[in-house]
Amino acid sequence: MSFDLPEAVGKRIYVQGKLHPELRVPMREIELSDSLFPDGSTEKNEPVRVYDCSGPWGDPSVKCTVESGIPRLREAWIAQRGDVARTEGGALKAAAAASPPTQRAYALRGIVTPEMEFVAIRENMGREEAFRAVYDRFPHEKTRPQEAQQLLDELGTGMPRPSELEKEPGFSPQSLQQRADLRYSHPTEYAERTGVQAPAFFTPEFVRDELAAGRALIPANVNHPEAEPMIIGRRFLCKINANIGNSAISSDIHQEVQKLRRAIHWGADTVMDLSTGADIHRTREWILRNSPVPIGTVPIYQALEKCGGKVEMLSWEVLRDTLIEQAEQGVDYVTLHAALLERFVPFTAGRATGIVSRGGSIMAKWMMLHGAENFLYTHWDELCSILASYDVAVSIGDGLRPGSIADANDFPQLAELEVQGELTLSAWQHGVQVMNEGPGHVPLHLIPENMRKQLLWCHEAPFYTLGPLPADIAPGYDHITGAIGGAMIAQRGCAMLCYVTRKEHLGLPDAEDVREAVVTYKLAAHAADLAKGHPAAQLRDNALAKARFEFRWEDQFNLSLDPQRARQYHDLTLPHAGAKKAHFCSMCGPNFCAMKLSQEIREINRAEK
């Protein structure tokens, strides 16, 4: 079977832990070539370290096969804590009388687990050194304004008029660079005002405190030791999720594992297995044993398969047994549409597009047929006890999310959101890690309200949205629609974006659709990280911009989110190897290249001094 995954750029390296010296935290390091100046002098460019989701699959020195699965990274950490025991079926589960083995429970007890240190190092991307080196190149970014200036206020005027600045005695390019206060709208200003600020460097203790406050989660089922710890929270890097899964129409198991590998190669931070066809259990087993990223599911799908697709046959018992089955297999987080209450359903009748969530529509139909309250809601405490026993995190679903611009931010959507908040609090009391799912189709001007209300009503639990899509008229391009809305909500604190592929609303995505969608969402999340002032986000942009300005084409390709595509597009018109050293591209040609002219201006400038 052909498998078209390109070779990863750069090499996978590992950074050792300090509190837990056995930790080997993976990153990808991209080597850069030297800068070459017209006078023949050169300058070394430090390698850039980037976040890496590819796991052992991205490390040629680790030999693994789909059949054997990947190494069980967390097995010893879990065993050492001594709070889990084997069930009859061989799975791990909280030992009797033990406090729940969840990262939340450890954090509340003040414990810094290996998982917490792992994500702290991972979020820093081990970039302290390179970070300082780059900031030395751009000194105006080094310091922060002393006083918060409310320059992001829509009515503010910000920086003084340049013509006023020019009147100052001694004003020059040199004096300007020293005036830190001109960096009046440094990301941290914005971040502080919107509550998305991160510390200059992440520490294991900071991670622990965010977990304890419920502002972040580390999805890490004790039965999925293959997963490399990662954190979801608005003060960390924005994460993205990719959905895979076969439907009755298409796809097979081998394809699903390949989709997983493809998704993590391009940068998916978590993967949801939304399979609904035959072989759900077996597909999931293959995926879990081969996945270095947390796996999420929507258990009601499998429960419905067990009922032969008949919604009326669903019951609390079937769902409960399915949930336990999945928890024992190693699923890291589950979507449960528990906040969709019976009394909200009639409010969807007047909507333009009714209910568009699969899980939501299943639960709504069950409630209509039985005239009964949502069994996920009525059994919430029991559900949470099960989840806590395995450290399965819950993603409280938004079954009534709007499916069109016309339905955005309406009563049923917001009524469910309020109940998500109520359920968040009680799940936390069980020690369960929580996030909340969000929309959906929302026009741009209503997106900020979604984020504000979620933070307020759901007690700052991480928000995880599908899009939002700020228009309905672009089927075939909805990865872009969702990236526009996603960047905007992530900038305001949404912690994870679920990708939407260009096949959304139309069909099942193929390999190229997955690549396109993952890279697009990685881009949206990164744009948000820049705006949030994540301490290491801009490093890669700066390195790429410098490579671009210096016509280091290979470096520019290698630093990009999709090196193969960048190279391919360049080579379509200038395929010769020599063009990789050319000081122009086919876009403007040699005589009209602004970068080239701008370098010439620098030289004239230098000669005059």
Please, how many CA atoms are within 13 Å of residue 549, restricted to the half-sphere of its CB? 11
What is the contact mask toward a second copy in residues 269 to 308, using x (rule: CB under 8 A)?
-------xx-----------------------x--x----
Which CB sits closer to a second copy, 114 or 421? Answer: 421
- Tell me the angle at which helices 478-491 and 511-532 cross, rounded to the nearest 10 degrees: 20
**Residue 462 gets which letter from DSSP?**
P
528 binds a second copy (CB under 8 A): yes
Residue 88, Cβ neighbours under 10 Å: how many? 5
Q: Specify whether the CB–CB gap between 265 and 57 falls below 8 A.
A: yes
Which CB sits closer to a second copy, 12 or 522? Answer: 522
Which CB sits closer to a second copy, 112 or 574? Answer: 574
Residue 158, Cβ neighbours under 10 Å: how many? 11
Give how many residues touch a second copy by CB under 8 A: 155
185 binds a second copy (CB under 8 A): yes
* Phi, psi for 25 (deg, rounded to 5): -90, 120
**Residue 237 gets which letter from DSSP?**
P
131 binds a second copy (CB under 8 A): no
Q: Specify whether the CB–CB gap between 386 and 323 falls below 8 A.
A: yes
166 binds a second copy (CB under 8 A): yes
Shortest Å, Cβ 239 to a second copy: 16
Shortest Å, Cβ 237 to a second copy: 13
What does DSSP say about strands 84-86 and 92-94: parallel, antiparallel, or unpaired? antiparallel
177 binds a second copy (CB under 8 A): yes
5 binds a second copy (CB under 8 A): no
Stretches 99-107, 120-128, 199-207, 362-370: which one binds a second copy (CB under 8 A)?
362-370
Burial 180-209 (b: 16+ CB within 10 A, else e): beebbebbbbbbeebebbbeeebbbebbbe
The one among 448, 459, 554, 580 contacting a second copy by CB under 8 A: 448
Three-state secondary structure call for residue 343: helix
What is the contact mask toward a second copy in residues 454 to 473, using x (rule: CB under 8 A)?
--xx------------xxxx
What is the contact mask toward a second copy in residues 237 to 276, using x (rule: CB under 8 A)?
----------xxxx-------------------------x
Shortest Å, Cβ 569 to a second copy: 4
176 binds a second copy (CB under 8 A): yes
State which of positions 366-385 bind a second copy (CB under 8 A). 368-369
The one among 453, 511, 554, 580 contacting a second copy by CB under 8 A: 453
Q: Specify whether the CB–CB gap between 292 and 268 falls below 8 A.
A: no
Cis preceding linkage at 199, omega within 30: no
The answer for residues whose C-beta is within 8 angstroms of residue 473's C-beta and 6 or more apart is none
Which CB sits closer to a second copy, 67 or 166? Answer: 166
411 binds a second copy (CB under 8 A): yes
If DSSP states are collapsed to H, E and C, what string results for 69-125?
CCCCCCHHHHHHHCCEEECCCCCEEECCCCCCCCHHHHHHCCCCCHHHHHHHHHHHC
135 binds a second copy (CB under 8 A): no
Which CB sits closer to a second copy, 14 or 411? Answer: 411
Shortest Å, Cβ 592 to a second copy: 5
Stretches 58-66, 96-104, 226-234, 536-544: which one binds a second copy (CB under 8 A)?
536-544
573 binds a second copy (CB under 8 A): yes
Rounded CA Rg of the chain: 25
Stretches 21-29, 280-288, 319-327, 532-540: which one binds a second copy (CB under 8 A)?
532-540
Q: Specify whether the CB–CB gap between 231 and 496 falls below 8 A.
A: no
Distance between CA 482 and CA 472 in Å, rounded?
Answer: 10
Q: How many residues does the chain have?
A: 609
